[in-house]
Amino acid sequence: MPNPNGTAENLTKFQPQWRQGKTQTIRVPIALVDQVLALARKLDGGESLDTSEKTTELYERVGKLTRQCEQLQAECAKAVASLDTAEDTIADLKNEVANLKSVQATFSHDTSEIDTIKASQLSNQAAPQDSEILELPDAATLLNQLKSRRKKSKTDLQDVEAILELLPEMPAQQSQTQAQLPDLYAARDKLFEMPSLGGWKLEKGEKRTRFWAFAEALIEEVSKLNPDYSIIQRLQSDLKQEREYSQGIAHGMSEEFRKRVQLEKKVGLRR
């Protein structure tokens, strides 16, 4: 029942005569007064209210809300799984970065050693060998030996002295124009082109094995002519191997960095 002011006079004024049961004053919004009174009169008159339609509607709404709740729970679980995967990916990336730093440190160390070996080789090549210093007799002795071999020689003592003055400069010039050993890789190509070896149909490992066997044999033969030069050639060959090894490490680092960038793009760490 509406009770605008709550006074006793108003209560008796709006109070109807109900057929059965006790009455109780309630407060409802003014907009709902007519609906509440209509329902109250129906109930007081013994009429039954049909709530099946409302019940069905409520059940449908409850079912819809339940499905939405389940969908939200599934999306939440999926988001949590994605977050766990992202955390695992980030951990893998951190490990990969640590490995790259380790490889870079190894590469820098190897490069430093290669530079040291190269500098040592250059200094050894530039240093004159004691065995290359020739002990020449005096000009008069050489002239007598020349005349004893060539009876009609017109060479005089001044010519021999001039030649002796030029001789100290000749070893340096000869060392600059001295024929180098053939490139081992060019020699390898010629070796593999021989019909007896089956051309280039050998596997990679066999090619490498035969090449180094050939290189060792070549160095051994050259060492019979000039042992010092063969040592230098052997060191140069080792240096070449170290450079190829370092280049392989650098290529591997580049590939690892490219993979890391792709992974970072996938998890949204790089833009």
Half-sphere exposure for 153 (CA within 13 Å, toward CB): 15
Assigned token pair, 228 = 């010092």
8-12, 191-195, 240-244: which range is least confident on average? 191-195
Specify whether the CB–CB gap between 107 and 253 falls below 8 A: yes
Specify whether the CB–CB gap between 142 and 160 falls below 8 A: yes
Q: How many residues does the chain have?
A: 271
Assigned token pair, 27 = 């407060």
Specify whether the CB–CB gap between 109 and 249 falls below 8 A: no
Q: Report the predicted TM-score, pTM, of the whole model to 2 decimal places.
A: 0.26
- Residue-wise pLDDT for 176-211, tens only, equals 434 444 444 555 555 445 444 444 444 445 555 555
- Whether residue 58 is predicted with pLDDT greater than 70 in this model: the reply is yes
- Residue-wise pLDDT for 77-107, tens only, equals 888 888 888 888 888 888 888 888 888 888 7
Q: Which of 192, 251, 182 is nearest to 218 (CA)?
A: 182
Specify whether the CB–CB gap between 1 and 15 falls below 8 A: yes
- Region 130-135: mean pLDDT is 50
Between residues 68 and 142, the one the model is more confident about: 68
CA distances from 152 to 101, 146, 148, 160 (A): 78, 10, 9, 16
Distance spanning both ends of the chain, measured CA to CA: 67
| d(C-alpha 245, C-alpha 102), whole Å | 16
DSSP count for the chain of H helices, then E strands: 9, 0
Neighbours of 16 (CB within 10 A): 11
Specify whether the CB–CB gap between 219 and 234 falls below 8 A: yes
